Amino acid sequence: MNSNSLQTPIVYLKGVGPNRAETLQSELGIHTYQDLINLFPNRYIDKTQYYKINQLQRNSADVQVLGKITHIKSVEQKKGKRLVATFVDDTGQMELVWFRGQKWIRENIKLNIPYVIFGRTNFYNGTFSMPHPEMELQSEHEKGIQIAMQPIYPSTEKLSNKGITNKVINKLMQQLFIETKGHFKETLSEPLLKELHLLSKSKAMFNIHFPKSTELLAKAQFRLKFEELFYVQLQLISKKLLRKQKIKGYNFDKVGTIFNDFYKNHLPFELTNAQKRVIKEIRTDLGSNAQMNRLLQGDVGSGKTIVALMTMLLAIDNGFQACLMAPTEILANQHFNGIKELLSGVGIEIALLTGSVKKSARRVIHENLESGDLHILIGTHALLEDKVQFKNLGLAIIDEQHRFGVAQRSKLWHKNEMPPHILVMTATPIPRTLAMSLYGDLDISVIDELPPGRKPIKTVHRYDANRLKVFAFIRDEIKKGRQIYIVYPLIQESEALDYKDLMDGYASISRDFPLPDYQISILHGQLKPEDKDYEMERFVSGKTQIMVATTVIEVGVNVPNASVMIIESAERFGLSQLHQLRGRVGRGADQSFCILMTSHKLSAEAKTRLDTMVCTNDGFEIAEVDLKLRGPGDLMGTQQSGVLNLKIADIIKDNDILKAARFHVLQLLKEDPSLQKEENHVIRYTYAQLIKFKNIWNYIS
């Protein structure tokens, strides 16, 4: 079967029909034959293996037991009756329970004859039970086994309601193999298959859906995972190579007087080694004739701003303008003030452009930008407006990139005929495991060192019951002249409710910390921008001691005198958010604290998150834990990268296969960059098909 007939709509498969086709489409995204063969089982059950009753575990799913029913009886319960059978093997006994269909069971069940039962076990009062087991006489069960490993496909409630059970999917898969004779076009090259001892495509497809043995299943899984990761990497790496070849960039070959003057006379501290290394990496990019597209990762407080500033000075030294875009006004203001101070006496023109800048002031900025009198522009989204035209923008820096989308990034590209160099800075560390697969097309620099003299933030977990002690602690810190953040969760779906939490919290804190001794700021998303600025300003200038806020303060806010971060309902926050919030303190010379408040009811996962926060301040370590807990789905950038749409490989568990795939892609592109060799035609063709149909990897970026 050629690969185009795998594009046959699924409705034509015998046994599907329009109704099922629609359900398969809406529930599993299956539109074509191809989509169906790429529906891979989540797991397999070995139908030849039986559990002994004394081996059962609490709450295990998919348990198969061989035994006999010795008794059956009805038991009265609050509402109606349940039917309970005693089921025994040579190691013990358990119960089978029915709430529905009791009459039929009673009439049809045979006592003292071997049955195979299958289902999920519960454990009550010292006895295992299985509600509504699937059951079969042992004789029939063994006749029916064709394959030892029974695949279990992804399912949804709607699928089972519409009668598309696992058995049905299995049947459809068989039908597909009949219609295609199980021949699938090879998608990897001969040398790769040989070198890695991979199964052929057809053999792998057969064994993933109808495994003949555990060994063959493992080989099939390896081959298909490798293939999937191979093509994702091929796409990422070719894109990167293409960009380097095609996209010419301004050549900043000079390190001039401004940079040197700043470095020698104005830099208020010694750069850390990590900062020096990153600046060197950036300089290499800027002098390479190709456009820079670099991601700068560094934990909160690692000193990214100074790197950004020095990169901008390089642009100016080479006769270009630079801009720095931040996700919020608060942050843009802060950058502007900080950078202005650092540059005082350097002779550089710098301006701030945000939504609140008045029209007349704006006009001046526009003019000075176009004439080139303005060297650095700092601001928010306002920078993206069409009216903002540079004379020669050479460098665009984006801070805290997770707040901006790809589209916005590309808007910056088009401010000139040649795209400016782009530096994206983020404080949300991407675990090393993921960075490679996510950002294969971006270059990455990491600041993995904090400036010297920082005292690690002390983090503790406290239950709500200890609130009085926490408040006493706050009073002591305020007495010492420190300031306090108290943060409430804000989760979009229940914004009204969260808002209420915040206001209740504010009211209760106002009672415990009354005027005139205490002044409190409040900050949340529903305030007008002027009010936000006002509240923020009062806190920054020390007029208020306590800032009650939602997560709007999460990003970038810098108030060095604030040394205590209290996070209410901390169990409701994700790890990376907790870490970002904690990063708001620990910015001054004083010992800082982070107090995670929760109720007593905690899920195991919430407990792990809190323990992780208490144990470590290292953003990368936290990101690794986060990745293990949540999978890659919620991490920044994953939506754009396609790793989410992996059909069979797992970006975390299959990291070794990923590395192998990456290695082979690099080797391939080195030896045969445009895939012209005869032996590589199959790869070129498959790659073209993937891009054309986008049905295996919905890879867009």
Applying CB under 6 A, among 302, 321, 401, 686 the residue interacting with ligand ADP is 302
- With CB under 6 A as the contact rule, which of the stretches 185-193, 293-301, 547-555, 634-642 interacts with ligand ADP? 293-301
The listed partner (Mg ion, ligand ADP, none) that binds 12, CB under 5 to 8 Å by sort, is none
* Torsion from C-alpha of 68, 70, 76, 81, nearest 10 degrees: 40
In terms of CB distance, is 420 or 556 closer to Mg ion? 556
Beta carbons of 486 and 658 less than 8 angstroms apart: no
The listed partner (ligand ADP, Mg ion, none) that binds 557, CB under 5 to 8 Å by sort, is none
User: What DSSP designation does 431 have?
Assistant: P
In terms of CB distance, is 436 or 447 closer to ligand ADP? 447
C-alpha distances in angstroms, 41 versus 119, 152, 155, 697?
18, 5, 10, 17
Beta carbons of 627 and 612 less than 8 angstroms apart: no
Least distance from ligand ADP to the Cβ atom of residue 428, Å = 11
- With CB under 5 A as the contact rule, which of the stretches 118-126, 204-212, 242-250, 554-562 interacts with Mg ion? 554-562
Task: Report if residue 1 touches ligand ADP, rule: CB under 6 A.
Answer: no
The listed partner (Mg ion, ligand ADP, none) that binds 379, CB under 5 to 8 Å by sort, is none
Residues that bind ligand ADP (rule: CB under 6 A) add up to a total of 15
Closest residue to bound Mg ion by CB = 556
In terms of CB distance, is 270 or 512 closer to ligand ADP? 270
How far is residue 510's CA from residue 513's CA, in Å, rounded to a whole number? 5
Least distance from ligand ADP to the Cβ atom of residue 169, Å = 50
In terms of CB distance, is 131 or 451 closer to ligand ADP? 451
The listed partner (Mg ion, ligand ADP, none) that binds 346, CB under 5 to 8 Å by sort, is none
Closest CA to 253 of 304, 289, 217: 289
Task: Report if residue 620 touches ligand ADP, rule: CB under 6 A.
Answer: no
Beta carbons of 401 and 326 less than 8 angstroms apart: no
Binding mask 507-546 for Mg ion (x = CB under 5 A): ----------------------------------------
- With CB under 6 A as the contact rule, which of the stretches 129-137, 253-261, 302-310, 493-501 interacts with ligand ADP? 302-310
Least distance from ligand ADP to the Cβ atom of residue 386, Å = 29
The listed partner (Mg ion, ligand ADP, none) that binds 272, CB under 5 to 8 Å by sort, is ligand ADP
Task: Report if residue 269 touches ligand ADP, rule: CB under 6 A.
Answer: yes
How far is residue 618's CA from residue 429's CA, in Å, rounded to a whole number? 10
Task: Report if residue 326 touches ligand ADP, rule: CB under 6 A.
Answer: no
* Footprint (CB under 6 A) of ligand ADP, residues 446-485: 451
What burial letters (b/e) apply to 201-232, b meaning 16+ CB within 10 Å? bbbbbbbbbbbeeeebbebbbbbbbbbbbbbb
Residues that bind Mg ion (rule: CB under 5 A) add up to a total of 1
Applying CB under 6 A, among 150, 233, 275, 311 the residue interacting with ligand ADP is 275
Task: Report if residue 580 touches ligand ADP, rule: CB under 6 A.
Answer: no
Least distance from ligand ADP to the Cβ atom of residue 542, Å = 17
Strand bridging mode 115-119 / 63-76: antiparallel
How far is residue 381's CA from residue 329's CA, in Å, rounded to a whole number? 9
Give the 3-state secondary structure of residue 206: helix
Task: Report if residue 305 touches ligand ADP, rule: CB under 6 A.
Answer: yes
Task: Report if residue 303 touches ligand ADP, rule: CB under 6 A.
Answer: yes
In terms of CB distance, is 332 or 696 closer to Mg ion? 332
Task: Report if residue 330 touches ligand ADP, rule: CB under 6 A.
Answer: no
Task: Report if residue 304 touches ligand ADP, rule: CB under 6 A.
Answer: yes
Least distance from ligand ADP to the Cβ atom of residue 580, Å = 10
Task: Report if residue 427 touches ligand ADP, rule: CB under 6 A.
Answer: yes
Is the omega angle on the peptide bond into residue 489 within 30 degrees of 0, that is, cis? no
What burial letters (b/e) apply to 598-633, b meaning 16+ CB within 10 Å? beeebeeebebbbebbeeebebeebbbbbbeeeebe
Applying CB under 6 A, among 10, 300, 397, 490 the residue interacting with ligand ADP is 300
Angle at 484 between CA 479 and CA 485, to 5 degrees: 170
User: What DSSP designation does 51 have?
Assistant: B
Binding mask 524-563 for ligand ADP (x = CB under 6 A): ----------------------------------x-----
Beta carbons of 378 and 385 less than 8 angstroms apart: no
Beta carbons of 59 and 118 less than 8 angstroms apart: no
Least distance from ligand ADP to the Cβ atom of residue 325, Å = 14
DSSP labels, 6-34: GGSBGGGSTTTHHHHHHHHHHHH---BHH
Residue 301 half-sphere exposure toward CB, CA atoms < 13 A = 25
Instruction: Give me 110's structure tokens.
Output: 């045979």
Least distance from ligand ADP to the Cβ atom of residue 451, Å = 3
Residues in the chain: 701
The listed partner (Mg ion, ligand ADP, none) that binds 300, CB under 5 to 8 Å by sort, is ligand ADP
How far is residue 672's CA from residue 683's CA, in Å, rounded to a whole number? 11
Closest CA to 595 of 457, 483, 460: 460
Task: Report if residue 383 touches ligand ADP, rule: CB under 6 A.
Answer: no
In terms of CB distance, is 267 or 491 closer to ligand ADP? 267
How far is residue 605's CA from residue 628's CA, in Å, rounded to a whole number? 11
Q: Which residues bind Mg ion (CB under 5 A)?
A: 556
Q: Which residues bind ligand ADP (CB under 6 A)?
A: 269, 271-272, 275, 298, 300-306, 427, 451, 558
